[in-house]
Structure 1
């Protein structure tokens, strides 16, 4: 029986398995769709579809940099920390990071459709599905970003084996080890203190209005008898304190409590003979915002042994 593209497409949609493997399964089963699904299941390739509803909240963040100027950061999730430490998984994440850096995708949907740079006969999604079948857990490419630091350089910092990943971009007239060390210290600050903005200039009016509203309610509850003008001064003081916590350059520098990050950068850049301006940072923390499935490992093993 002739195997048509429509049949291959249908089998792929049912199983999530790559096009070439679907075509092979249909050829092996003479075009019988149900038998082809069974064929793929028996070969372990259709396991991925069964895992679609699971929560993938572990995993790692990976960064990659080219020529000190171009960088990508990606978070790929797994179901368990055990798999996140698996060499196969980590190699796959490294390949995904390279694909992002050297490809043209601007979001995960586009990335999954791209032809793999390692094997042009497969898409990134094909490789993801194959890796799910091999490893036996749901895996998910959650998010990524890219940086073009044409006017300076970019550095990366990975904390906790990939639990947190940071990129820091700066404009600079000098790119040397001293400048990279300054930016690495800033990246460690970002990892530790999780700022929201580089400086106050980035803070939107919407954010300020929202925080003022919250602080006003707090102040009135704590001081119901104080006049409005006193309350207003209290709010300004509290808002300024908060901005120093969420704006990177205004944060207290963790390696020297007498300096802000901004002052540290200025002093260190001057000593290095460089003009240096922090332009952007990206901080990914694995699983942030995702629900994590709590399981008793002993119970899980017992269940599997009982099957």
Structure 2
């Protein structure tokens, strides 16, 4: 096992909010593997560990384009929130989502080769970088064709959701999209949840059950109960609808009530999984002012 460095400890602490010493112990036990160490902390400290693992840090916007049975969603990143609100940056983002629909391709390499008003996207991107003074990147894109009807929702410009609903019902479609933005499910149904996620939860639940001192048959039920709870929490159909009056109606109940189903959904959150350098407000103002003067 290699040395457990301060950088590794800090990285784990940033993901979990766990105490420094607990992070170091977990890394030692995990032979330096951060993902395994995070799992160990979840067993020891409960749900607190990992609560900031999805903390959103990078800046940018989500842009969505829908044209009949075709739709796209893109994430364009920049360095500061100032640039994320810049009109030229926003227009660039909208143009990229439109190109994805028109070309029916979500390959970043292919997008960069397309043209907007006779100028290649990559050339426009570099020109925008030079003008604004910040790095700008097309991080990801998705293109889909619907079996039913597309509905979308953007929360500000930071969260974007696309939903393919089996029927035409704008109110229902918007409600489902808004729910997904709020609750961020991992899959439509429990059967669609990634087996790797289930395996991780099962290992954590098994470790917790083994520490309870209960008989094996009780521990088995504890593990099964934890997994069932997890599956309901991360599957769209199993989640309680955010606008439910009695806090009991699930998305599945809501869809059945309307004789509808969800064929597909996608959610993008700006900066998901990325890390932003720490700058305070004054620094951002100074940097933006300096960049504008330079131009």
Report the TM-score, using the length of structure 1 for normalisation: 0.71
Kindly provide the CA deviation profile for residues 210-262 of structure 1, in whole angstroms up to 9, marking residues without a partner as x. Answer: 321121012212x0x21111100001111111111100011011101120011
Q: Does 1:170 align with 2:154?
A: no
Query: What is the SS of the residue equivalent to 2:249?
Result: coil
Paired with 1:195 and 1:226, the residues of 2 have a C-alpha distance of: 32
Aligned residue number for residue 65 of structure 1: 66
> How far is 1:108 from its partner?
1.1
Kindly provide the CA deviation profile for residues 103-122 of structure 1, in whole angstroms up to 9, marking residues without a partner as x. Answer: 14332122112x31431xx3
Structure 1 277/297 Cα, relative in aligned 2: closer, same or farther at 3 Å? Answer: closer
Root-mean-square deviation (CA, aligned residues, Å) is 2.0
Contact 1:58 1:84 in 2 (8 A): yes
2:238 aligned to which of 224, 245, 250: 250
Aligned residue number for residue 24 of structure 2: none
Please give the residue correspondences for 1:1-307 in structure 2 after superposition, counting only pairs within 5 Å. Answer: 57-67=58-68, 69-113=69-113, 115-119=114-118, 122-149=119-146, 151-159=147-155, 161-172=156-167, 175=168, 179-221=169-211, 223=212, 225-256=213-244, 257-267=247-257, 269-270=258-259, 276-299=260-283
Aligned residue number for residue 18 of structure 1: none
Give 5+ residue unaligned stretches, structure 2.
1-56
Paired with 2:243 and 2:284, the residues of 1 have a C-alpha distance of: 44
Give 5+ residue unaligned stretches, structure 1.
1-55, 271-275
> How far is 1:293 from its partner?
1.1
Paired with 1:155 and 1:98, the residues of 2 have a C-alpha distance of: 16
Contact 2:96 2:111 in 1 (8 A): no
> How far is 1:300 from its partner?
6.2
Structure 1 232/104 Cα, relative in aligned 2: closer, same or farther at 3 Å? Answer: same
Report the TM-score, using the length of structure 2 for normalisation: 0.74
> How far is 1:266 from its partner?
1.4
Query: What is the SS of the residue equivalent to 1:190?
Result: helix
Larger radius of gyration: 1
> How far is 1:205 from its partner?
3.4
Q: How many residues are treated as equivalent by the alignment?
A: 232
